[in-house]
A and B are shown apart, each in its own frame.
Chain A
Amino acid sequence: MSEVAGSPPAAARVPDPAEVVVRIRGLGKAFRGHLGIGRTVAVDGLDLEVRRGEIFGLLGPNGAGKTTTLKMLLGLVRPDRGEVLLFGLPPSDPRARARLGYLPENPYFYDHLTAAEFLDFYARLRGIPADERRVRVPRALERVGLGDRAGTPLRKLSKGMTQRLGLAQAIGHDPELVILDEPMSGLDPVGRREVRDRILELREAGRTVFFSSHILQDAEMICDRVAILDRGRLRWEGALRDLVSRNVRWFEVEVVGALPPDVPCERVSREGERHLVQVADVGRLARLIDAVQRAGGQVVSVWPRRETLEDLFLRELGRPPGRAEGPR
Chain B
Amino acid sequence: MSAPAPARVPPPWAAIVAIGLNTFREAIRDRILYLLLVFALVVIGASRLLSLLTVGSEDKIIKDLGLSAISIFGVMTAGFMGVSLVFKEIERRTVYTLLANPVRRWQFVTGKFAGLLSVLVLNVTLMYAALAVLLWIRGEQPLALAPAVLLTGVELAVVTAFALLFSSLTNPILAAVWTFAVYVTGHLVWSVRLLGERLPPGFARGTCEALYWLLPNLDRMNVRAEVVHGIALPDGFLAVSALYGASYTVVVLALASLALERKDFA
Q: Which residues of A contact B (CB under 8 A)?
A: 1-5, 7, 9-11, 13-15, 31, 53, 68, 71, 74-78, 94-95, 97-100, 102-104, 107-110, 112-113, 117, 121-122, 124-128, 166, 169, 173-176, 179, 204-207
Is residue B19 within 8 Å, beta carbon to beta carbon, of the partner chain?
yes
Q: Is B53 an interface residue (CB 8 A)?
A: no
Complex contact B25–A108 (CB within 8 A)? no
**Stretch from B1-9, B58-66, B72-80, B118-126 contacting the other chain:** B1-9
C-alpha spacing A176/B7, complex, angstroms: 8
Judge if B143 is at the interface, Cβ distance under 8 Å: no
Q: Which 4 A-B pairs have the closest CB atoms?
A: A127-B10, A94-B102, A206-B1, A124-B18
CA distance A71 to B264 in the complex (A): 9
CB–CB A125/B2 < 8 A: no
Let me know if B103 and A94 touch, CB within 8 A. Answer: yes
Query: Which residues of B have CB within 8 Å of A109?
Result: 94, 97
A108, A125, A204, A207: which has the most chain B beta carbons within 10 Å? Answer: A125
What is the CB-to-nearest-CB distance from B181 to chain A, in angstroms, rounded to a whole number? 23
Check B94–A110 contact: CB distance below 8 A.
Answer: yes
Is B266 in the interface zone, CB < 8 Å from A? yes
Query: Contact at A122–B101, with CB atoms within 8 Å?
Result: yes
Task: Give the shortest distance, in Å, between B6 (CB) and chain A (any CB).
Answer: 4
Per the bound structure, the CA–CA distance linking A68 and B264 in Å amounts to: 10
Task: Report how far A31 CA is from B264 CA in the complex, Å.
Answer: 10
How far is A37 from B26 in the complex, measured between Cα atoms in Å? 37
Cα A206 to Cα B5 in complex, Å, equals 12
Ordered by A's residue number, 10 sampled pairs between the chains whose C-beta atoms are within 8 Å are A5-B8, A5-B102, A10-B5, A14-B3, A75-B100, A95-B9, A108-B93, A124-B14, A127-B8, A175-B4
Q: 15 other contacts beyond A94-B103, A112-B25, with CB at 8 A cut-off?
A: A5-B102, A7-B6, A31-B264, A75-B99, A94-B9, A98-B10, A104-B93, A104-B96, A104-B97, A122-B97, A125-B10, A125-B18, A126-B101, A127-B8, A204-B1
Interface centre among A4, A103, A110, A179 (most CB of B within 10 A): A110
Please measure, in the bound complex, the distance between the C-alpha atom of A104 and the C-alpha atom of B15, giving whole angstroms.
20
Residue in A closest to B266 when the chains form the complex, CB atoms: A77
Q: Could you tell me if B6 and A10 are in contact, using CB atoms closer than 8 angstroms?
A: yes
| Contact B7–A99 (Cβ < 8 Å) | yes
Q: Known: A108-B94, A122-B97, A174-B4. Is A94-B104 also a contact (CB below 8 A)?
A: yes
B198 on interface, CB distance cutoff 8 Å = no
Interface of B is mostly: loop
- Residue pair B7, A121 in contact (C-beta under 8 Å): no
A23 vs chain B, min Cβ distance (A) = 18
Contact yes or no, A77 B9, CB < 8 A: no
Distance from B118 Cβ to chain A, minimum over Cβ atoms (Å): 16
Chain B residues with Cβ below 8 Å from A99 are 4, 7
Knowing A10-B3, A108-B94 are in contact, say whether A5-B265 is a contact too (CB < 8 A). no
- Are A125 and B14 in contact, with the CB atoms below 8 A? yes
Residues of B within 8 A of A (CB): 1-11, 14-15, 17-19, 21-22, 25-26, 29-30, 92-94, 96-104, 264-266
* A11 nearest in chain B by CB position: B3
Chain A interface, DSSP helix/strand/loop, else mixed:
loop
Query: Do residues B4 and A125 form an inter-chain contact, with CB atoms below 8 A?
Result: no
User: Which residue of chain A lies nearest to B91 when distances are taken between CB atoms in the complex?
Assistant: A108
Please give, as numbers and ranges, the residues of chain B lying within 8 Å of A5 by CB-CB distance.
6-9, 102
B7, B26, B101 pick with most chain A CB within 10 angstroms: B7
Within 8 Å CB of B2, what residues of A? 205-206
Measured between alpha carbons, how far is A97 from B97 in the docked complex, in Å? 11
Complex Cα gap A78–B105 (Å): 14
Query: Within 8 Å CB of B8, what residues of A?
Result: 2-5, 98, 126-128
Indicate if the CB atoms of A173 and B97 lie closer than 8 Å: no
CB-CB under 8 A from B102, the residues of chain A are: 5, 94-95, 97-98, 125-126
Nearest chain A residue, comparing its CB with the CB of B19:
A125
A108, B92: Cβ atoms closer than 8 Å: yes
**In the bound complex, what is the Cα–Cα distance between A316 and B44 (angstroms)?**
71
Residues on the A chain within 8 Å of B11, using CB: 1-2, 127
Chain B residues within 8 Å of A1, by CB:
11
Which of A9, A68, A107, A108 touches B266 (beta carbons < 8 Å)? Answer: A68
Asked if B22 and A174 make an inter-chain contact with CB atoms under 8 angstroms apart, the answer reads no
Shortest A270–chain B CB gap in Å is 51
A53 to B4: give the CA distance in the assembly, Å: 11
Determine which residue in B2, B19, B99, B264 has the highest number of CB atoms from chain A within 10 A of its CB, and name it: B264
